[in-house]
Structure 1
Amino acid sequence: MREHIETVRHYHEVTKHHPRHYARGPGQLDWSTQPDPFRRYAGAPLYKLELHSDTDGPGYDAIWTRGQIQPSPVDQHSISQFFLDSLALSAWKQAGGSSWSLRVNPSAGNLHPTEGYLVCGAIDGFCNEPMVAHYAPKEHLLERRMAIPPALWQRFITSLPHGAMLIGLTSIHWRSSWKYGERSYRYVHLDLGHALAAVRFAAAGLGWGTCLLDQISTMEVAQILGITDPAGVEPEAAGCLLLVTPGGACHPVQGRDGGVLAEMATLPREGRADRLSSSRVEWPLMEEVAEASLKPSDCPSYPRSMHPDSGATMPMRNLALRTIIHQRRSALDFDGSSGMPRSSFYGMLRRTVPHAGSTPLAVFPWAPMVHLAVFVHRVEGLGSGLYLLVRDPNQHQRLRLAMNLAFEWGRPPGCPDGLGLVQLLTGDMRKLAMQIACVQASASDGCFSLAMIADLEKAMDNYGAWMYPRLHWECGLLGQVLYLEAEAVGLRGCGMGCYYDDLMHELLGIKGSEFQDLYHFTVGRAVDDPRITTLPAYPNDG
């Protein structure tokens, strides 16, 4: 276990960006080997999904409180809607002679290493037997990879809630490392966190519960999804399984039947994965950290996480959930002048903190391990400066001792009860925020930007090296929340994976590796490029 933690520490240190040198990458892009962002399984039985979306579905704010949305029945229509709202295409973009797709789940560089799978029982009018199926977002359909004998399925779901399904998420590392090299392992798992959150939001819109099924090993996830043998093509790395409960609330499941999992691993595969690239470059350091971060089967369980009450209720705005989900975009530029109301800023931050009954953030079984260092630039009624949102109040004192002892730690004006936001520094932070974010103007031209500071050493010491990707999942989930919250107030978000790690640590006064910067994000008023045309996601859509 200790050697795996050391491998992760080494990887994280080596893949930091610095002002004078960046983490090792390809140097220049070989466009002839760019991986196809869409994987298909030739010869696999196909299950078509409906393209019609219920745009008059639930309100966006309704999903944030448990019990506000009546659970939808599980059928072809709801399964179709679920994938449309989570892992499907959201639009095509066109400029000159080039076109490219966008998805509901964002990805660093729009490279999309994440693949999605459905593991379900027989569904009336859709599939006649239990199966494992791969989701093909370009065509919006499912490809059956394994048929599961009904008797085996019954044994598999013995400990699961009635009617439960599983969503599997995997990663094709080469799609990301083609552009980003060694640092791409971080981006792969940030992307997986975004996809995980997108699945969570889609399920909540149907009144379904979702939680991470995290008591099984990474290898067992691979066996269930049938991805253990790449058969000569680019391999997929198992990420996670999400338990989806159409009956509503979802709770972590204890125990597993190793015999059932072993039998599932022997089921015949259907379809053959296509090759995504003519050749690929190996990045040994990335594969080393991937191996060290695999979750074994004998892991300590998480202590029960108790979330406080949210205090004042949030307003129910006239916002359609699916409109927000499908209009989400990553801003390329911000106008550098627009501000936002303080109430909207506080409301967005409140949505990043789990509370009792808060549905979308209840997906992880562990207490929050990521905190937000916020550069406030243009928030009306709030002074410019550096702030810190402590997402777990139990870690307040540890963070204070780990950071610059000269920080103010003052309570901002009008801050709602229950929101652990403090002001550390007062003053214009735009130039500093931009410098830290690899001199990207997006970090200074928005209303605010932030860095996600993870409790890295404690997470690995308490559990193991396998928490390293999970911390990135938590960051990705927070990024997805901020994306949707930005859309809900008429702004736009932008995730940023390029930043100078240790410059951020130096600003905060962090020494050593106890707390580490894992992700940056900006919210502001976007500037659209008039040369780019937006087209419907699917031919018959719109």
Structure 2
Amino acid sequence: MSDESLCFAQHYHERTKYDPQTIDSKSKPLDWDAQPLSFKEYKFGATIDLKPYLDPKVEPSWWSRISRLLYASYGITARVRTLNGESIFLRSAPSAGGLYPAEIYLISRGTPELAAGLYNYQVRTHSLLRFWDSDVWRSLQEASFWHRSLDRTQLAIATTAVFYRSQWRYQDRAYRRINLDTGHLLGNIELASALNDYRPHLIGGFSDMAANKLLYLDPETEGTVAIVALADLREIEHHITHDKSALPSQTTTDYPKLEEGELLAYLHRVSQIDTEPKQQDRAASTPDESPEDDKYNFPFCTKVTTATPPIDWGENSIGLEKTLFERRSTREYTGGSISLTQLQLLLDFTYQPKHYVSRGLDNDPDYFDLDSIETFIAVTAVEGLDDGCYYYAPKAQELRQVRFKNFRRELHFLCLGQPLGRDAAVVLFHTADLARAVGKYGERAYRYLHLDAGHLGQRLNLAAIHLGLGASGIAGFFDDRVNEVLGIPEDEAVIYITTLGEPKLGR
């Protein structure tokens, strides 16, 4: 039976932790005969080819904007042949194990260019497949509890997850990776939208049952993760104000005893929202006014400013689009150092979007609850900065040292023996007070935290690649040992790790 002191999201987090004593017993050999496909196929529908609109010689149009937005968000940007002659398709958004659990749907209210209906983005062919051709906008509004961003917009994106694609390899812990991967995708959608004169409005509080029904999903194997209203910034009536991105689900402490392999599906089910939350529940879930001070201000600690002029992405931020198309996860680092200036630029682009308004980017992009995410940084090779663990204070724009030590050996261990952890110049940890987040958002907090961490991680990825550095996310680590070794407060659950450093040539 359940532990009455823990809700199920906390129970899931504890059950899916990696521990040096038990990790070998939990790992299972992969069934290669059951390896899932990372593309969705439909047996019917009308196809709209988007490839011609990627040609720079084609006159800019509504279609070229949508084509480039989708391609920069999730398109296939490389094809790699394996030793056995098979192809691996790499996309603009990173995915754990290259499994790509996310699917993208475009929902049209009806525009002169795109008839009302439902469209699946066919990644392999860079096309839209129209599989339902009636007016569905009202159903989308109902599923989204009449989110104000849908009042005047004409297009929306729904991201969904096919659970088995990740669960095949990562078992129950795959739910963490599914949401992190979707967070990477949302980060791309945010930036690609800005480059194409759209403003995405995140909707995380919606009726799962209604959204799944709208998209004709099988709720036993897949589910809607996020909805994004696309406001066209070239249309004055689409210049709309923010609305709340996150709503709470219920919290359950009375759950059955579950076997390994049953945790993922159960957490997704209990984190669903069935009906619109009551007004008092909405109020309880509203993020506190953003505090003026950062959460941690350790006494007598060394403080280092991270204030810096912003990254120059070139005219019309052309360098950002190029990076979206060319981004790759780093496989190996040299162990060499990076400069303090480079670290400052990485943090500035990730956490200080207001510095990039003049470059055409959003000064306040949507997250679900960014104030719930904290950042700690283990520094092992940054010129001009002492080795050790630092807390990053985004409001003060400074690093605050927690521990003095070179942690290379420990980071190698904490990252499950992956050389990425050992050889990176910087290892960045996103954490959250899980109990506090659940108190605001119920079981659904687990989704929001991982989506936001993935979103931040993708901004780090893109900034690093643009600066000539390497970046790679790690979702597999010895959870409890991270806090113990680095001096991170115990109530901070580790959500995600991003390694940054000097990449080996060709890696």
Q: By the TM > 0.5 criterion, same fold?
A: yes
Partner of 1:523: 500
Partner of 1:174: 164
2:162 is matched by which residue type in structure 1?
I
Q: Write the mapping of 1:364-379 to structure 2, written as runs, cut at 5 A.
A: 364-379=367-382
Instruction: Spell out, residue by residue over 1:353-408, the C-alpha distance to the aligned partner (whole angstroms, 9 max, x if none).
Output: 255567276212534211121111221111111111134x5xxxxxxxxxxxxxxx
Give the helix-richer structure, 1 or 2: 2
Select which of 221, 228, 239 maps to 2:225: 239
Partner of 1:410: none
Select which of 60, 69, 72 maps to 1:82: 69
Partner of 2:37: 36
Q: Distance in 1 between matches of 2:134 and 2:214?
A: 10
C-alpha RMSD of matched pairs (Å): 3.3
1:38 is matched by which residue type in structure 2?
F
Partner of 1:184: 174
2:504 is matched by which residue type in structure 1?
V
Using the size of structure 2 for normalisation, the TM-score is 0.82
What SS does the aligned partner of 1:243 have?
strand
How far 1:48 sits from its partner (Å)? 1.7
Tell me, yes or no, if the aligned pair for 1:449 and 1:521 is still in contact at 8 Å.
yes
- The range that moved more, 317-326 or 456-465, is 317-326
1:302 is matched by which residue type in structure 2?
T
1:517 is matched by which residue type in structure 2?
V
How far 1:315 sits from its partner (Å)? 4.8
Partner of 1:334: 333
Select which of 95, 104, 113 maps to 1:116: 104
**Structure 1 residues 467 and 150: alpha-carbon distance in aligned structure 2, compared to 1, 3 A threshold:** closer
Partner of 1:139: 125
Partner of 2:298: none
How far 1:164 sits from its partner (Å)? 3.7
Select which of 455, 464, 467 maps to 1:477: 455
What SS does the aligned partner of 2:442 have?
coil
Q: Distance in 1 between matches of 2:499 and 2:445?
A: 25
Tell me, yes or no, if the aligned pair for 2:183 and 2:451 is still in contact at 8 Å.
yes
Higher relative contact order, structure no. (Cα contacts within 8 Å, ≥ 6 residues apart): 1
List gaps (5 residues or longer) in structure 1. Answer: 58-71, 256-280, 394-417, 531-542
Q: Write the mapping of 1:373-412 to structure 2, written as runs, cut at 5 A.
A: 373-391=376-394
Q: Distance in 1 between matches of 2:385 and 2:10?
A: 37
Using the size of structure 1 for normalisation, the TM-score is 0.77
What SS does the aligned partner of 2:128 have?
strand
1:213 lines up with 2:203 in the alignment: yes
Q: Write the mapping of 1:92-131 to structure 2, written as runs, cut at 5 A.
A: 92-96=79-83, 97-125=85-113, 127=114, 129-131=115-117
Runs of 4+ in 1 over 4 A off after TM superposition: 2-5, 23-26, 54-57, 150-159, 304-313, 354-358, 508-512
What SS does the aligned partner of 1:118 have?
strand
Instruction: Spell out, residue by residue over 1:146-186, the C-alpha distance to the aligned partner (whole angstroms, 9 max, x if none).
Output: 22338958987894353442110111110001011111111
Partner of 1:13: 14
Residue identity (%): 26
1:91 lines up with 2:87 in the alignment: no
Tell me, yes or no, if the aligned pair for 2:82 and 2:88 is still in contact at 8 Å.
no
1:431 lines up with 2:415 in the alignment: no
1:22 lines up with 2:6 in the alignment: no
Partner of 2:250: none
How far 1:30 sits from its partner (Å)? 0.8
Q: Distance in 1 between matches of 2:423 and 2:17?
A: 24
Instruction: Spell out, residue by residue over 1:263-320, the C-alpha distance to the aligned partner (whole angstroms, 9 max, x if none).
Output: xxxxxxxxxxxxxxxxxx9921111111122234315252475598997652534362
Tell me, yes or no, if the aligned pair for 2:182 and 2:454 is still in contact at 8 Å.
yes
Q: Distance in 1 between matches of 2:481 and 2:338?
A: 27
Tell me, yes or no, if the aligned pair for 2:181 and 2:454 is still in contact at 8 Å.
yes
Q: Distance in 1 between matches of 2:229 and 2:291?
A: 21
List gaps (5 residues or longer) in structure 2. Answer: 246-258, 294-305
Q: Write the mapping of 1:433-512 to structure 2, written as runs, cut at 5 A.
A: 433-509=411-487
Partner of 2:134: 148
2:382 is matched by which residue type in structure 1?
V
Tell me, yes or no, if the aligned pair for 1:373 and 1:386 is still in contact at 8 Å.
yes
1:133 is matched by which residue type in structure 2?
Y
What SS does the aligned partner of 1:36 have?
coil
Q: Distance in 1 between matches of 2:104 and 2:273?
A: 19
